Amino acid sequence: MDKRVFFDTIGRSLFNGRLSLSRRDGIETKLSAFDVYGITDERWRAYMLATSYHETGGTMQPVEETGKGKGRPYGEKRKQDGTVYTYPDRLYFGRGDVQLTWYENYERMGKLLGYPLLTHPELALEPDISARILVEGMTRGSSNRGDFTGVSLEDYFNDHTDDPVNARRIVNGLDCARRIAEYHRKFLEALKIAFVAFVAVLLLPSGLAGCKPGRVVTERIVTRTDSSAVQMLSDSLYRKEAQIAFLQADVKRARAENIRLRSETRRYEIQYDTTAPVDTVTGKQRVLREIITSTGIRYGKVTEEAEERHEEMFAARENFAVEDRNRVLTVDKQTREDRALKEKTTTLRFNYKLFLAGVVAGMVIGVGMMRLLKGI
C-alpha cells in the first residue's frame, strides 16, 4: 500500500483536507497492529478504522469517555451481572479507540493481552495497547470469538457476506450503524486506491522495459566549456552537496523526534508478593509494589535541540551559496581581464614590428644617400 496516496485520499474525503500529524500517527499505529495480527482483508481494516473514527470523535487517538460513565450502569462499582465489587477501587467507563467499558471486558482483555487492565484501566489509553484491544475485540483473536459482543468481523465480511451496516453489532448493536458504514466506505476506497498506486509503481518499470524501439539513433554531442563554465558547474555540485547535507540533517532530526516519541510511552512495573496466597477473583497474588515511569518530558527538549541544529544548517547553507555566487563572479571578472591583457599584448607586438621596419628602411635610405653623395 502506498501510504502517501492513502493519507492524501482519506484526508480529502473524511478530514476536510486537514489530516493532522496526530491523526496520521493514530492511523499509523492501527495499521501497524493490523500487520502484526496478519489482517489482510481491506474490508476489516477499513471497518476498524471507521470504528475508531466514530468512537474517538475523529481524532484517531485513544480517548476517555466524557463524563467518565456518570449516569451509566458501568459508571458505578458494579459488574454486568449486577454484582457489586470493592476491589480494585476503579471505574470501568469508556477508554481507548473502541471505548472499552465494564469490569468484565477490562478483566477479559487484560488476560488475553497480558496487561493489568483491571488494576490499571488507564493503560487502555496507550495507543499501542488500544490498537490491540480494537483488533482482539473485533476479530476472532486469541479467544477465537468476538470478545465485545460474541460476533466478529469474520461474521460480516467474508466470501459470501459484505455487510458494513450490521457489522456495528460487533461493538454496540445498531447504534449509528449507517453513519459508520459510510466512514467504512471512505476508508475502504482510500485503501484500494493506495493499493492500486503501489502495484502501479511496481509494474511500471517492467512495463517500460518491455517496450523496445524499432530503431535506435545515437547522437554524438561535443560540448566546449571555458573556465567560467567549469567553475559554475563545480559551484552547482557544491550547492547540491549542501542540499544533501541539509536533507540528511532533516532525516536525523525526524529520527530523533521519532525516537523520543516512542519513549513517551509509560512503563508499568508490578511486583507481586510471592509469599501471599493467590486471589480467587484476579487469579494472581497480592500486589506488593507498583512502579510507573514516564519519559514524555524528554520530547520537547530533543525537539528544541533539533530545531536549533536545523536553523544552524539553514544559515550555513545560505552563507555557502553566497560564497559560491561570489566565486563565480570573480572567475568571470578574471576571465575578462585575461582577454583584455591578451588584446593589449597583441597591439604592442604589432607596433614593435613597424618600428623595426622603419629602422631598416631608414638604414637603407641612409646608405643610398651616402653613396649618392660620394658619386657627386
Task: Flag whether 112 is in a domain.
Answer: yes
Last residue of a domain, one of 203, 229, 251: 203
- Residue where the block lists cell 476506497: 189
Cis peptide before 88 (omega within 30 of 0): yes
- Span 210-253, pLDDT tens digits: 444 444 545 454 445 455 444 555 556 656 666 676 666 666 55
10 and 144 belong to one structural domain: yes
Q: Which residues pair with 4 in a beta bridge?
A: none
Cβ 292 vs Cβ 307: under 8 Å? no
Q: Could you tell me which of 158, 313, 157 has the C-alpha nearest to residue 247?
A: 313
Query: Grid coordinates standing for 97?
Result: 479507540
What is the Cα gyration radius of the chain? 39
- Same domain flag for 38 and 113: yes
Do 151 and 137 form a contact (C-beta atoms < 8 A)?
Answer: no
Judgement on whether residues 186 and 244 belong to the same structural domain of the protein = no
Backbone angles phi, psi at 150, to 5 degrees: 100, -15
Q: Which residues contact 203 (CB under 8 A, 6 or more apart)?
A: none
> Grid coordinates in use for 87?
476491589
Q: Provide, for the chain, the percentages of residues in helix, strand and coil under a 3-state DSSP scheme, each rounded to the nearest 5.
A: 60, 5, 30
Residues 78 and 191 in one domain: yes
- Whether 154 is in a domain gets the answer yes
Please give the pLDDT value at position 261.
47
We report the CATH number of the domain holding residue 61 as 1.10.530.10
CA distance 99 to 376: 138
Residues 152 and 257 both lie in one domain:
no
Residues 256 and 181 in one domain: no
Distance CA 144, CA 152 (A): 10
Residues 115 and 131: beta-carbon distance below 8 Å: no
Q: Are residue 30 and residue 161 in the same domain, yes or no?
A: yes
pLDDT in tens, the chain (376 residues): 889 999 999 999 999 988 999 999 999 999 999 999 999 999 999 999 999 999 999 999 999 999 988 999 999 999 999 999 999 999 999 999 999 999 999 999 999 999 999 999 999 999 999 999 999 999 988 888 888 999 999 999 999 999 999 999 999 999 999 999 999 999 999 999 988 888 877 776 544 444 444 445 454 544 454 554 445 555 566 566 666 766 666 665 555 444 444 445 566 677 777 777 877 766 777 777 767 665 554 444 444 455 565 566 666 555 655 555 555 555 455 555 555 554 444 444 445 566 677 767 777 676 666 665 555 5
Residue after which a domain boundary falls, among 178, 203, 228: 203
Q: What are the start-end ranges of the E strands in 257-321?
A: 267-272, 287-293
Q: Domain count of the chain?
A: 2
In a domain, 368, yes or no: no
The stretches of 146-176 forming alpha helices (DSSP H) are 153-156
The answer to whether residue 277 sits within a structural domain is yes
What pLDDT score was predicted for residue 298? 46
User: How far is it, in rounded angstroms, from Cα 144 to Cα 167?
Assistant: 17
E strand or H helix that includes residue 297: none
Domain boundary residue among 152, 185, 203? 203
Cβ(42)–Cβ(164) under 8 Å? no
For residue 285, being part of any structural domain is answered with yes
Q: Evaluate whether residue 373 is within a structural domain.
A: no
What are φ and ψ of residue 229, in 5° steps?
Answer: -65, -40
pLDDT for 300: 45
Cβ 142 vs Cβ 109: under 8 Å: no
CA distances from 154 to 24, 29, 131, 317 (A): 27, 22, 18, 56
Residues 55 and 136 in one domain: yes
> What pLDDT was estimated at residue 1?
82
Cα separations (Å) of 50 from 6, 39, 42, 373?
A: 14, 15, 12, 125
Let me know whether 189 and 277 are in one domain: no
Quote the pLDDT of residue 297. Answer: 47
Q: Output the pLDDT for position 356.
A: 72
Burial 340-372 (b: 16+ CB within 10 A, else e): eeeeeeeeeeeeeeeeeeeeeeeeeeeeeeeee
Q: What is the DSSP letter of 11?
A: H
Q: What are phi and psi of 78, to 5 degrees?
A: -145, 135
pLDDT at 34: 94
State residue 182's pLDDT score.
96
C-alpha grid cell, residue 295:
519519559
Owning domain of residue 303: 237-321
Q: Are residues 138 and 245 in the same domain?
A: no
Q: Which pLDDT value is given to residue 18?
A: 84
What is the H or E stretch that residue 196 is in?
Answer: helix 177-209
Amino acid (1-letter code) at residue 85:
Y
Q: Is residue 302 domain-resident? A: yes
Q: How many whole angstroms separate alpha carbon 210 and alpha carbon 270?
A: 62
Regarding whether 151 and 28 lie in a shared domain, the answer is yes
Question: Would you say residue 366 lies in a domain?
Answer: no
194: burial class by Cβ within 10 Å (0-12, 13-18, 19+)? buried
Taking the C-alpha atoms of residue 267 and residue 80, their distance in angstroms, rounded to an integer, is 30
Classify 360 as helix, strand or coil.
helix
Residues 100 and 14 in one domain: yes
